[in-house]
A and B are shown apart, each in its own frame.
Chain A
């Protein structure tokens, strides 16, 4: 599979602050890649170097085979950008804005198709000033799509959205991935990354600290599972092999286990035999958020003097 974005040992400082300290990443064509990290981790700096807005201090960067620092027009023609700020003229309509940007590209996507993709068809003749913040962000996405790009950069595309708007933006992005676009997004929302990304890299303090698919990141799929339930009053004690790993949780009993299939079998067969109903029974694995918080906390602790 062809490589769309290649970053090798990228470095960037602002004065004495090292924002990016040797990041290396590779994104394949057609992949949805998420850069996840807390505020100030270097996400925007990295993506703006890829977009050609910032110059790097060191390392190599290639987007579709071009160095974005040169501002090569052939690259700009194949690249769509959604910035954190809405950068469109407030007095033009949706259709005019999309048409204006389409005019900048050699092979634009048809206007009505672009507007349809972001779900603004019934607002096509509304002026930007009349759109809500969420709809303006969708127009931002439409502008990024106007030139029918091969690669899309989305910098925190759903920050500030209400849950409904977020969900529909996700559907749009999913749809774009379905068209075979390479999508490079930054986010600090776990749900978003879980839902959208094929692959994710967590960065903290300017370095990649974990990389993988959202499901397997940092060995998440092998981590211990937790079984939670409540014992009704007057129930007999748990069998001995379970008692050892059980502890009283905030709301009932918690069992940590590396082998949830077996443990659950032991627990439920015991309960059925004893005629006990286990209230609120659930099995959970560490969420992406748990993994993320653990990793970024570790980095935070290390980088303290």
Chain B
């Protein structure tokens, strides 16, 4: 059995444990879908005129926003919390003492999270299209998928990186949520920013969440053009790179005491 096969088997085991863990499954799978339903009920069948004589369902705008939330939950939040728990329990140390290459373990962990994210995005899009008439991307699909990939990669890297400042698994949910929740509210995810104060606008533009939400929303539906948001993707990519550097330099396999 070669290492790639070992890595793929690891995904299967990670997935088994993930599905059976009530906390992981609830916060990662149920939470985003719950938000989607709440938003749908609130804004329901609203229509928006995007151009003269051209109306689309408002779901066309909040579906990609909730998709952004899903990716952040599945990649950043899920990875940071589950790695902290595995580190504290000694599970990571055990893996490290085994012949399984560390890249194979990390590859499995990240691939699993990305697959969960993709599944959630697909659920969001299907739900929005079927029940609330959201317009699905066609000509902008490549740009949407690119934004999805760049965002998922970056938030995975940041999720691994943030474990280096998490002292123990008890503190993990608090630190992880404190680092994303406020940003979710000021980053066009839950509510659109309407004429925010200049400083708030600046703060939200520094962090990657707003760029990710904007990139997904603007590439989900466009009347014309490819929908490619190069600047947003560059900022997200830079954050991802920074996360990768921190993760490689500071990631710890042993419990912090």
Contacts and interface: CB of A to CB of B under 8 A. Distances in A.
Interface stretch (B37-45, B52-60, B68-76, B85-93): B85-93
A45 to B, nearest CB: 13
Interface residues of B, number: 25
A270 B99 CA distance: 68
A101 B96 CA distance: 12
Given A53-B93, A91-B16, A92-B17, A103 B99 contact: no
Contact of A92 (B13, B90, B101, B255): B13
A89 B97 contact: no
Given A76-B98, A77-B99, A96-B13, A83 B1 contact: no
Mostly helix, strand, loop or mixed at chain B's interface?
helix
Contacts of A90: 17, 21, 89
B99 A76 contact: yes
B201 interface: no
A88 B100 CA distance: 15
Contact of A91 (B20, B94, B98): B20
A87 B89 contact: yes
Contacts, number: 70
Interface in B1-30: 1, 6, 9-10, 13, 16-18, 20-21
B17 A81 contact: no
Contact of A101 (B17, B98, B254): B98
B254 A53 contact: yes
Given A91-B16, A96-B16, A85 B90 contact: yes
Nearest to A108: B1
A87 B91 contact: yes
Contacts of B91: 87-89
A86 interface: yes
Q: Which 7 A-B pairs have the closest CB atoms?
A: A87-B90, A85-B90, A87-B94, A91-B20, A91-B17, A76-B99, A104-B100
Interface of B: 1, 6, 9-10, 13, 16-18, 20-21, 86, 89-94, 96-101, 254-255
22 contacts: A51-B97, A53-B254, A73-B99, A79-B97, A81-B94, A85-B90, A85-B93, A85-B255, A86-B90, A87-B91, A88-B94, A89-B13, A90-B21, A91-B18, A92-B16, A92-B17, A104-B99, A104-B100, A105-B98, A105-B99, A127-B20, A147-B98
